[in-house]
Structure 1
Amino acid sequence: MNSISRRIADELGVREQQVNATVELLDEGATVPFIARYRKEVTGSLDDSQLRSLEERLRYLRELEDRRSTILNSIEEQGKLTDELRASINDADTKNRLEDLYLPYKPKRRTKAQIAREAGLEPLADALYEDPTQDPETTAQGYLNAEAGVDDTKAALDGARYILMERFAEDAELLGSLRDFIWQEGQLKVSVIEGKETEGAKFRDYFDHVEPLKKVPSHRALAILRGRNEGILAYTLVVGDADEDRRAPHPAEQRIAAHWNIRDNGRAADKWLSEVVRWTWRVKLSTQIETDLMAQVREAAETEAINVFAANLKDLLLLAPAGPRPTLGLDPGLRTGVKVAVIDGTSQVVGHGAIYPHAPKNQWDPSIEQLAKWCRDYKIELIAIGNGTASRETEKLVADLCKRYPELKLARIVVSESGASVYSASEFASRELPDLDVTIRGAVSIARRLQDPLAELVKIEPKAIGVGQYQHDVNQVRLSR
């Protein structure tokens, strides 16, 4: 725990005692808002932003430590834990690095490489790797084993290739190096799936799209990922022209060969070893690294999207309240009419109803008269108009009302109605307004949002307020936090 506290303190630029005090409060069940507001003297006045970062890093590093412990125990039970390996695992500072180190020891289903080892082909793989002057076909003759299914030299060499491919692909240093290389040099190439052009028209910007992987902004990344999930788009990672010409060696293959000291010097086994390297990249590593890096892109995009959502939500919650002034809330609609809620200065519902100024009923003048009556009877000062369907038409109606009856001295404001329908059908609304129809509850919410945005919006799930980008695509647990 001390090492975690030290690390967080260094990252945030605060004292370790502040981190320890905050961790203790979090472990006791205190929330970040509570600590930020009521425990400043304990945390040394850490602000809410520092506390949120601290909580996130604490969660990540504790998960990292739990996984580290599990991996060490697993390798130790296999009797393969060396001092050098233990040191490498203890030094791993990311989950990716930890999993790369664990890969060769991770219990897995019987692989082709394992079957080849059981058939006695590992010495053949070692011989060709360590001494490329040996002829593969000739050397393989000595490893035929009909009982194990190795009937000819092709089967023997295939088995040896699988063994080397697995060995090459499970090297933690190589995996980290390749991941960094593709991240720095890779391009994200996106295309439309054939036949999906019409169905996926909203993704047309990405039908033929290429940009550097490390520079993809969060909104584009989330759009591309959504397009793929909906079966409209396909993507791949490319480096230079290697992926265009499948016959040319991929730059990653060159790095694998260099890491394992494999060179084509015209020796008998050099061509076979080069083919092993090619297969290692094309069959085992390219998809794995693409998956890892796209997960990294998604995580970064989700973090950015959640931060945007949080900032927008904060701005919305902290909008200046109109105050305790009698307000008329209008929830616009066409065929179903405009729902009206009359709210007094204490936010209580004192009247409600519906008017039908728009098509098909077109009761324009009667609607204005009814609104004027409510305004006179309840001394209304403000009219809050929801910004949904028929909002402009309803605003025009209220403008006409103000023009006809200037003595009412009304002020009209268009209010975001995001989440009003969710609130109106919620259990909270049922308890708060049990005698009102769900359609009227929406108008009540719109009026109260103008009087006191914070008091009204906190009743609604944040994600239902709709102030973020792709908020339904991101990790919902992180979004809720």
Structure 2
Amino acid sequence: MLPSIEHRLANELGARPAQVAAAIALLDEGATVPFISRYRKEATGGLDDIQLRLLDDRLSYLRELEARRAAIIESVTTQNKMTPQLLDAIMHAADKTHLEDLYLPYKLKRRTRAQIALEAGLGALADALLRNPALHPEQEAAGYLKAAFSTDQGDNPGVLDAKSALDGARQILMERFSEDAALLQALREYVLDHGVVEARVIEEKKEAAAKYSDYFDYSESIKTIPSHRTLAILRGRREGLLNVQLRLDTEADKPLMTAPYNPCEARIAARFGVAHKMRPADNWLADTVRYTWRVKIFLHLETELMSALRIKADTDAISVFALNLKALLLAAPAGPRTTMGLDPGVRTGVKVAVVDETGRVLDTCVIYPHQPRCDWEGSLHTLAKLAEKHRVSLIATGNGTASRETDKLALDLIRLRPELKLINAVVSEAGASVYSASEFASKELPDMDVSLRGAVSIARRLQDPLAELVKIDPKAIGVGQYQHDVSQSQLARSLNTVVEDCVNAVGVDVNTASAPLLARVSGLNNTVAQNIVAHRDSNGRFATRAQLLEVPRLGKKAFEQAAGFLRITGGSNPLDASTVHPESYPLVKRILNDIKLDLKGVIGNSALLSSLNPARYQDEKFGLPTITDILRELDKPGHDPRPEFTTATFREGIEKISDLQPDMILEGVVTNVAAFGAFVDIGVHQDGLVHISALANSFVKDPHTVVKAGQIVKVKVLEVDEKRKRIALTMRLADAAPKADAKPRETKRPPVHRGQEKSESVKMTTPNVMAAAFSKLKA
């Protein structure tokens, strides 16, 4: 019998069963992962949020597995077909696939041809020919003829002639062979090792399929095909442009029935003792083996393994999206400074919004510095007046259409009016239009034109990216890879987890936070978040965390989960502005009494705090992890884990793709990180690609280990394809751009399957050539 769920999870996590059991108990009680990882370290032995997320996911899977195991045992037992051997195998099945393999012969299914043949008494014929191939099939079959008859399951056509008898016997053996669990697992493993995913363009749709040209004649091992290529070819198949199939690497085309056994057919034959010894039934049995493989088992495995490949590709793509989203959410905030947001536009003008330190809108307008009005001077004058009037510190320019031209306007203002001490930054405006048209934006900015709401969002996301981006569906932020092709429910669940972790890692000011931000706090939901805002609007600022218990539907359990992540700055208790949980306030009081100081004399006193022995304050309730965390928090209360705010400087005069030249070194911002490299905004309205091989001087397995979304990087231009809007970049600044007349330099590479040489990972000259293959994948 398998170990308990706790022991299995402990092995997977590298933890003790007691740690896992404690975490499971807390999760079952309704505790959230952020709460457990921060405030229940004694119980879980310090399991971190990553381990707890994995535990939570795997716990669901293993519980489903155990429920399915129990249902299968009950079903087989009810059929009176359970044996000690079968029960032992079921109890030791470690995953759902193996469990379903074992259940296959007993699974209630529609009346099959094999079942109809068994009803007609052909089981004995099948057994006889398999047991004794010396029998003559046609002669033996003649003894099993039977007229049509009826059964409780329905009408049976009977056995009209010898051919019908042999066909029925074959169906019986095919079903028996294909439902052998041990054989199925062996064949599954072989196909995983030797299976090739093959894509071919549908000839009459070749022109429409131009964007899939890399996959017109493509094949790659199912073991090595990366997620982005899987999703690309599956999208092509879904659009009816590509034929995609799985085949064995030993078979380029479907072999004739008279061909020698392939390795899988040979395994089936060996399993059931089928051999060619020139006996009368050998050919009939050989054909039965081939039909079993081609009609039953391979089609089943192809469906299963291609589905598993899709799930893996989904998981990988979602992981990329989650990592990028986390980097954006935890990007450096500019902080509570009056900010002017510029939402660039050409014909419709540049929308302008000024917000104060808390994000409250102070002023809005529209200026027209670009075509067709070209009111550059008037626009500068308007911006200067707004900056003076509201004492603006920051200018946030969206990175959409006319971004560089508008950024130049902001730079001109800074040069012309240095006394204003303005700082300019280009901000990703991904999702700003989604926010502008959202129901929340309508409630938050009810009297404002939709076009101006985007400028407000751009300004606010410079002040605090996390607080603003939580108002937008994570899928609309645009940092994913094939996000529209993956499981939307799985994507939403993963991204919501990322948002929750980020919000709780930073903490939330309960007196200024929006309802969408509060809703992401551990233990809270949309209703309670809205109730907090309504209570704040009606009764004024919260002075203490304890006052949160006055909010409707915020009970003791929700308070326990949420209180440590909610901050009250300037309140009556300084601890309310820290990560110290209210349940630990008595401990802090005990420490203060022991050292005979008040809280003001302790907060920020690093020398004193480092001299204290945490073990001195241990008791049954508070252990070393909690006490150590409290002392660290008292040293730096409310510490923000996000980095310091910096801005990228785009090079003057480089505003469009035609301005780029090979070997230029530029500063840019990473906008997206994919499995094959990173996209970088260098200020020309078209992101360039730094291929994974050009991210560093050493081998890079995962681009996320080198760069993250929002990071400021220096890059060199390698190649520019203005017609196709493709820019190849490198972060290895010593790399030289290829000469225009240089012949392609092929890199050494391992042997590949037919068609793979057309994929982006193999035939290339320098990383810039890969950019051409990959830039389309960003779409």
TM-score (norm 1): 0.96
Q: Give 1:104 deviation, angstroms.
A: 0.6
* Contact 1:305–1:470 (Cα < 8 Å) also in 2: yes
Q: Deviations over 1:128-164 (max 9, x none)?
A: 1111011111111111123234222111111111111
* Whole-angstrom distance in 1 between the partners of 2:203 and 2:456: 49
Tell me what 2:105 maps to. Answer: 104
* Whole-angstrom distance in 1 between the partners of 2:174 and 2:395: 71
Partner SS state of residue 293, structure 2: helix
In the alignment, does 2:175 pair up with 1:166?
yes
* Whole-angstrom distance in 2 between the partners of 1:348 and 1:306: 34
Q: Deviations over 1:373-410 (max 9, x none)?
A: 21222222211111222222322332333344344332
1:51-62 alignment, distance < 5 Å: 51-62=52-63
Tell me what 1:466 maps to. Answer: 478
1:237-316 alignment, distance < 5 Å: 237-247=246-256, 248=259, 249-316=261-328
Partner SS state of residue 168, structure 2: helix
Q: Give 1:459 deviation, angstroms.
A: 2.2
* Whole-angstrom distance in 1 between the partners of 2:75 and 2:276: 39
* Whole-angstrom distance in 2 between the partners of 1:362 and 1:201: 40
Letter in 2 for 1:457: L
Partner SS state of residue 418, structure 1: coil
Partner SS state of residue 310, structure 1: helix
1:320-469 alignment, distance < 5 Å: 320-469=332-481
- Structure with higher helix content: 1
Give the total of aligned pairs.
481
Tell me what 1:139 maps to. Answer: 140
Tell me what 2:592 maps to. Answer: none
Letter in 2 for 1:33: P
Classify 1:451/1:175 alpha carbon distance in 2 versus 1 (closer, same or farther; 3 Å).
same
Letter in 1 for 2:168: G
Tell me what 1:16 maps to. Answer: 17
User: Percent identity, aligned pairs only?
Assistant: 60
Q: Give 1:70 deviation, angstroms.
A: 1.1
Q: Give 1:53 deviation, angstroms.
A: 0.9
* Whole-angstrom distance in 2 between the partners of 1:31 and 1:195: 54
Structure 2 stretches of 5 or more lacking a match? 149-156, 494-779
Letter in 1 for 2:413: L
* Contact 1:384–1:447 (Cα < 8 Å) also in 2: yes
* Whole-angstrom distance in 2 between the partners of 1:37 and 1:473: 35
In the alignment, does 2:45 pair up with 1:33?
no
Q: Give 1:2 deviation, angstroms.
A: 7.7
* Whole-angstrom distance in 2 between the partners of 1:260 and 1:6: 38
* Whole-angstrom distance in 1 between the partners of 2:435 and 2:29: 32
Tell me what 1:183 maps to. Answer: 192
Tell me what 2:763 maps to. Answer: none
Tell me what 2:238 maps to. Answer: 229
Partner SS state of residue 306, structure 2: helix
* Whole-angstrom distance in 2 between the partners of 1:273 and 1:337: 78
Letter in 1 for 2:29: E
Q: Deviations over 1:282-323 (max 9, x none)?
A: 111112101111122122222222222222222111111111
Q: Give 1:32 deviation, angstroms.
A: 1.2
Structure 1 stretches of 5 or more lacking a match? none
* Contact 1:190–1:234 (Cα < 8 Å) also in 2: yes
Q: Deviations over 1:176-203 (max 9, x none)?
A: 1111100011111111222222222222
Deviates more, 1:394-403 or 1:181-190: 394-403
Q: Deviations over 1:182-234 (max 9, x none)?
A: 00111111112222222222222112111111111122122222222222222
* Contact 1:75–1:81 (Cα < 8 Å) also in 2: yes
Equivalent in 185, 194, 198 of residue 203 of structure 2: 194
Letter in 2 for 1:280: T
Tell me what 1:219 maps to. Answer: 228
Deviates more, 1:66-75 or 1:32-41: 32-41
TM-score (norm 2): 0.60
* Whole-angstrom distance in 2 between the partners of 1:199 and 1:187: 25
Tell me what 1:45 maps to. Answer: 46
Letter in 1 for 2:147: A
Partner SS state of residue 341, structure 1: strand
